[in-house]
Chain A
Amino acid sequence: MDNKDSMIRMFNVSKRYGKKYAVKGISLEITAGEFVFLTGPSGAGKSTIMKMIYLAERASDGQIIVDGMNLDRISHARAPLLRRRIGVIFQDFKLIPNRTVFANVALVLEAAGERPGVIKPRVMEVLKTMGIDGKANALPPSLSGGEQQRAAVARAVVGNPGIILADEPTASLDNRSAQAVLDSLVQFHAMGTTILIASHNIQMVSSLSRARSISLVDGSLG
């Protein structure tokens, strides 16, 4: 099957840790511009699938193709190129605590080799979009959970990635902050970004009727 609009494709993908399978026989496809929820209870394998997509883990079996790149054949040297095409949002934010919000977000563009003259306006634009431009010089520990996650979203989108992966992005947040994060992801989706959110929050999943849902149970598609 060769689908030009395909952003993420998995063919019979499994991940083993020792003799135990975290995920087994996963085949799925996410097309460009889709908004997809990866749902299931804790331990279903959602995070494992996310990690394999952004190459924090390698699949034990099967093939994964992301934005035309076969992850099975990608070398260590080329992995950063893949990661720049994907913006990742984590449950625990993963902001560098001793760098300012601005520096955390700018890191993505610095790593991509952008010039300071390009980085500064782009970062401020994204921070403003996320409503935290006033916190540019703040250190992450001084921010609320909602503000930190918005900073993390800013970092995920600043490089204009084609795909945003969000692994339980609202699990640590109150309802208001969670809704703000979801709204921002909907906003980026409207601009054409493919969104994949791993979540066990049924309320959030059902709140977005346009979104497709892929269900996981005990490491397999439900």
Chain B
Amino acid sequence: MYQYFRRAVSDMLSNRFLNFVTIVTIALSILVVSTFVLFFENVNRVIDSWHRGFRVVAYLDQGFVPSMVPELMARVQAMGNTTDVRFIPKEEALKSLKDAMTTTSAFFDTLEENPLPHALEITINAEVLEWSGIAAFAGAVDGLPHVDSVEYGERWLGRFLTFLTVFKIIGFAMGSLFFMIALFITANTVRLVLYSRRTEVEIMRLVGATDRFIVTPFYIQGLIQGVLGGLAGLLILSAVFFVISSNLGRSVAPEMMFSLQFLSVKYWLIIIASSAFLGWLGCCLSLKQFLKY
């Protein structure tokens, strides 16, 4: 196997331009696919953070008094699906509203009584309750005694769930499409490389080389091209990402809820393994016609 590897490297060095073309083709394909993966990974991270911090607010009726809080909280916690239940007295709610509306805070001084109700802020357990279960949970909370209404951004959530589904479908479709495009481009490029070396392949067969002797270095070359192309694509993406994220950090307000992260080690390995597979498969698709007996 070492001899095959040595021949593969030697062949690559002897045909630098054509190998460079193949590696660049793979790198560009991986760059496009990785960009989508990076986008989707960051969006998924944002969605996960929203999911973890998602809250349902149950507004309590006029008949509710603070002494009823322990019992009501116990009922909510008994429903499961929650990580935290916090009672917000109406006085705290009014103070928070005044703090949020600083330009019109004088208006609140004119109020004779606090119009806001008591409320329970319920943080859902994202490990247990999926997006699609939130509406049913909110409905169950709404059925509890002294709960007047429940807010959970239901219209927004409905649209968001639809978006999420479409997002996932598009993600899979785009990823598959670009992988196929990359595969065909790579196979075609490899075919051009093999075509340019058809005389060499013919000579090898004529001097008694077996098919295995002939094709194994090509497969190894395909793997090497795939790995190098994958690495190059990821390095280009990381450079672009660094520039963009640095500039975003300077220009976007600090209250931005998330920070961009580059691909994790897991995705690096998956992408490089996929690009190696891409290079190898491109070779497979192109080699058969050159081994006609």
Determine how close the nearest CB of chain B comes to the CB of A96; give it in whole angstroms.
5
Inter-subunit contact A96/B208 (CB<8 Å): no
Convert B257-276 into 0s and 1s, putting 1 for each residue whose CB lies closer than 8 angstroms to a CB of A: 00000000000000000000
Residue in B208, B209, B213 with the greatest tally of chain A CB atoms within 10 Å: B208
Contacts of A77 in B (CB 8 A): 210-211
Determine how close the nearest CB of chain B comes to the CB of A100; give it in whole angstroms.
10
Inter-subunit contact B207/A83 (CB<8 Å): yes
Inter-subunit contact B203/A94 (CB<8 Å): yes
Partner of B206, one of A54, A99, A116, A159: A54
Inter-subunit contact B210/A56 (CB<8 Å): no
Q: Kindly state whether residue B293 has any CB partner on chain A within 8 Å.
A: yes
Inter-subunit contact B14/A99 (CB<8 Å): yes
Convert B201-238 into 0s and 1s, putting 1 for each residue whose CB lies closer than 8 angstroms to a CB of A: 01111111111010000000000000000000000000
Inter-subunit contact B293/A76 (CB<8 Å): yes
Contacts of A80 in B (CB 8 A): 205, 208-210, 213
Partner of B199, one of A84, A88, A96, A159: A96
Inter-subunit contact B208/A81 (CB<8 Å): yes
Residue in A82, A99, A159 with the greatest tally of chain B CB atoms within 10 Å: A99
> When A98-B14, A98-B15, A99-B14 are in contact, do A108 and B203 touch as well, CB less than 8 Å?
no
Chain A residues within 8 Å of chain B by Cβ, number: 24
In the complex, what residue of chain B is closest to A159 when comparing beta carbons?
A: B208
Contacts of A111 in B (CB 8 A): 204, 207-210, 213
In the complex, what residue of chain B is closest to A86 when comparing beta carbons?
A: B208
Q: Kindly state whether residue B3 has any CB partner on chain A within 8 Å.
A: yes
In the complex, what residue of chain A is closest to B7 when comparing beta carbons?
A: A110
Q: Kindly state whether residue A69 has any CB partner on chain B within 8 Å.
A: no
Q: How many A-B residue pairs have CB under 8 A?
A: 52
Inter-subunit contact A79/B200 (CB<8 Å): no
Residue in B202, B210, B211 with the greatest tally of chain A CB atoms within 10 Å: B210
Contacts of B205 in A (CB 8 A): 80, 83
Q: Kindly state whether residue A150 has any CB partner on chain B within 8 Å.
A: no
Inter-subunit contact A88/B210 (CB<8 Å): no
> When A84-B208, A98-B14, A98-B15 are in contact, do A110 and B200 touch as well, CB less than 8 Å?
no
Determine how close the nearest CB of chain B comes to the CB of A123; give it in whole angstroms.
13
In the complex, what residue of chain A is closest to B6 when comparing beta carbons?
A: A116
Cα distance A94–B205 in the bound complex, in angstroms? 12
Q: Kindly state whether residue A15 has any CB partner on chain B within 8 Å.
A: no
Contacts of A94 in B (CB 8 A): 199, 202-203, 206
Inter-subunit contact A96/B203 (CB<8 Å): yes
Contacts of A56 in B (CB 8 A): 206
Q: With contacts A56-B206, A79-B293, A88-B206 known, what are 8 further pairs, Cβ within 8 A? A: A77-B210, A80-B209, A94-B203, A94-B206, A107-B207, A110-B3, A110-B7, A111-B207
The 6 closest A-B pairs by CB, nearest first: A84-B208, A111-B209, A83-B208, A98-B14, A80-B208, A108-B207
A–B complex contacts, Cβ < 8 Å, 13 sampled: A56-B206, A77-B210, A80-B209, A83-B205, A94-B202, A94-B203, A107-B209, A108-B208, A110-B7, A111-B208, A111-B209, A116-B3, A155-B207
